[in-house]
Amino acid sequence: MEGWTGCGPGERRWRPVSGGGALESDAIELLRALIREACVNDGRPESGQEIRSVRVLQRFLAPAVATGRLETQVLESAPGRASLVARVRGTDPDAPSLGLLGHLDVVPVDPEGWTRNPFGGELVDGEVWGRGAVDMLYLTAAFATVIRELALAPERPRGELVLLAVADEEAGGEYGIHWLAREHPETVRVSEAISESGGMRMGRHVAIEVAEKGSAGRRLVVRGKPGHASIPYGAASASYRVGEVLQRLGEVAPVPQLGELWGAFVDARIDDPVLAQRLRDPVSVDAALPQLGGIAGYAHAVSRVTLSPTVLRAGATHNVIPAVGTIDLDIRTLPGTSDDDVDQLLAAVLGPLAAQVEIQHLRGWAATASSPREPLFAAIERAVGEVAGAPVVPIMAAGGSDARVLRELGIPAYGFGLLAPGWSYERYREGVHGNDERIDVESVALSLAALRLIVRERVG
């Protein structure tokens, strides 16, 4: 296998060493190295500093670059906010161009909530510990391992394989995939792609993400009459009106909208036929949700538009009755939901309070979806079946990922992975952004094995 060898303070170089299980070991060691770079993205433009992990990838890919088969580019959207694009060109211009979209940044941690160093990249009892292990450095490492293997192969592939290891996914991608698509569109020009948010087990099925909800942020503005807080008579505090709106939002909820993916989820996850029937009925689905245990939150999220109040503001000084209050809403939409639909939904939810509320639009994006009838999805299905002996189920992600940018460009993109048995959706969600985040070696090996089969089928 290969491993890191010291070559000076703070520096590592990739060199071959003897051993077995080379590809799996390569991916594990690369994962550990990426965790140690601690590219924490807290939303500030100067955070992330993904250039550190880009340098790790450059050293890892150097043997393939030396052959002339692998082309790499490092592109910085701002100082230190770097993405790496690596490309193996094929012999047939009509063959697929497969993109492997991974991100390099990770979310912040609360060190007090961790049993081990969140940036130690420790390998303990068959598990790699560290922030980003699940989201999504294990896949980024697998992607890099496979593209290096392809570049070092004796023959050139028929199609093209492209690694997009990007910055800033955790804060929306403005310094990563969005910037690349806008400023360097040729770098993201692929015919199909795989990324994160797949591989968890839904019953005996393996979940592959084909869609993700959109975001339609709104700010609700309510107004009152200011006054001195010591003489409240005659004033009308905006704080009370904020409370009235919040109460209304808590009492009135959007109705379920059960689509094609909902039925596939129920079929895969629910064994009880009576419960399954109740879940397929929009009238009874909400009453049935409590019977789903840990997956009820996911089921609730993907079966409707959700409205979540997140930031409240009213007043700035303790002795002044505030004239203006605001409520920021995180609204997650289903495919096909327009901005007008969201505003109409809000008006319906607010009911008699709607006339007293100004609705302002915040940042958002449409829900996206790729058809599960594309050739790439079929290749994923075959690979998962061969490696794990399991069927797949197409699912919708409740959150967002960089894959939506490719879908917006008309590129079919799927959330991939093949986690070990026991990795239910609930366990996966606990690992993403949670304390003591870690991934087992078996899951890395399974994902790598399935990925190699997909690459072999799609690009040769």
Of 42, 145, 165, 150, residue with least CA distance to 91 = 150
Q: Are 214 and 403 in contact (CB under 8 A)?
A: no
Could you give all domains of the chain from N- to C-terminal order, each with its CATH number? Answer: 2-210+369-459 (3.40.630.10), 212-365 (3.30.70.360)
- Which helix (H) or strand (E) segment is 51 a member of? helix 51-66
Structure-block tokens of residue 23: 């590809």
Asked if pLDDT for residue 3 goes beyond 50, the answer is no
Of 382, 361, 362, 378, residue with least CA distance to 370 = 378
Of 266, 148, 131, residue with least CA distance to 205 = 266
Asked if pLDDT for residue 20 goes beyond 80, the answer is no
Mean pLDDT value across residues 199-225:
97
Mean pLDDT value across residues 154-167:
97
Structure-block tokens of residue 46: 């100067």
pLDDT at 147: 98
Is residue 7 very low, low, confident or very high in pLDDT (cuts 50, 70, 90)?
very low
**pLDDT tens digit string along 223-259?**
999 999 999 999 999 999 999 999 999 999 899 999 8
Q: How distant, in Å, are the alpha carbons of 26, 76, 120, 439 from that of 130? A: 17, 26, 6, 9
Q: For residue 194, which phi and psi values (nearest 5 degrees)?
A: -125, 150
pLDDT at 10: 38
pLDDT at 81: 98
Asked if pLDDT for residue 5 goes beyond 50, the answer is no
22: three-class secondary structure by DSSP: helix
Q: Are 387 and 196 in contact (CB under 8 A)?
A: no
Q: Are 255 and 304 in contact (CB under 8 A)?
A: yes
9: three-class secondary structure by DSSP: coil
Query: What number of residues does the chain have?
Result: 460
Mean pLDDT value across residues 69-94:
98
Which residues are CB-contacts of 227 (< 8 A; sequence separation ≥ 6)? Answer: 234, 235, 320, 321
pLDDT at 340: 96
Strands (E), 19-140: 70-78, 81-88, 97-103, 123-124, 127-129
Of 330, 35, 49, residue with least CA distance to 168 = 49
Structure-block tokens of residue 32: 């550990």
Structure-block tokens of residue 281: 């009925």
Structure-block tokens of residue 209: 């993400």
Of 414, 422, 415, residue with least CA distance to 442 = 422
The whole-angstrom separation of Cα 100 and Cα 97 is 10
Residue 376 burial (10 A CB sphere; 0-12, 13-18, 19+): buried
The whole-angstrom separation of Cα 209 and Cα 387 is 18
**pLDDT tens digit string along 293-307?**
999 999 999 999 999
Is residue 424 very low, low, confident or very high in pLDDT (cuts 50, 70, 90)?
very high
384: three-class secondary structure by DSSP: helix
Asked if pLDDT for residue 11 goes beyond 80, the answer is no
Residue 123 burial (10 A CB sphere; 0-12, 13-18, 19+): middle
The whole-angstrom separation of Cα 268 and Cα 265 is 5
Give the up-direction half-sphere exposure of residue 72: CA atoms within 13 A in the CB hemisphere.
Answer: 25
**pLDDT tens digit string along 83-128?**
999 999 999 999 999 999 999 999 999 999 999 999 999 999 999 9
Q: How distant, in Å, are the alpha carbons of 36, 97, 99, 413 from that of 455? A: 28, 10, 10, 14
Of 377, 388, 381, residue with least CA distance to 98 = 377
Q: Which of 17-21, 37-41, 43-47, 325-329 has the lowest mean pLDDT?
A: 17-21
The whole-angstrom separation of Cα 314 and Cα 337 is 31
Of 118, 130, 103, 135, residue with least CA distance to 200 = 135
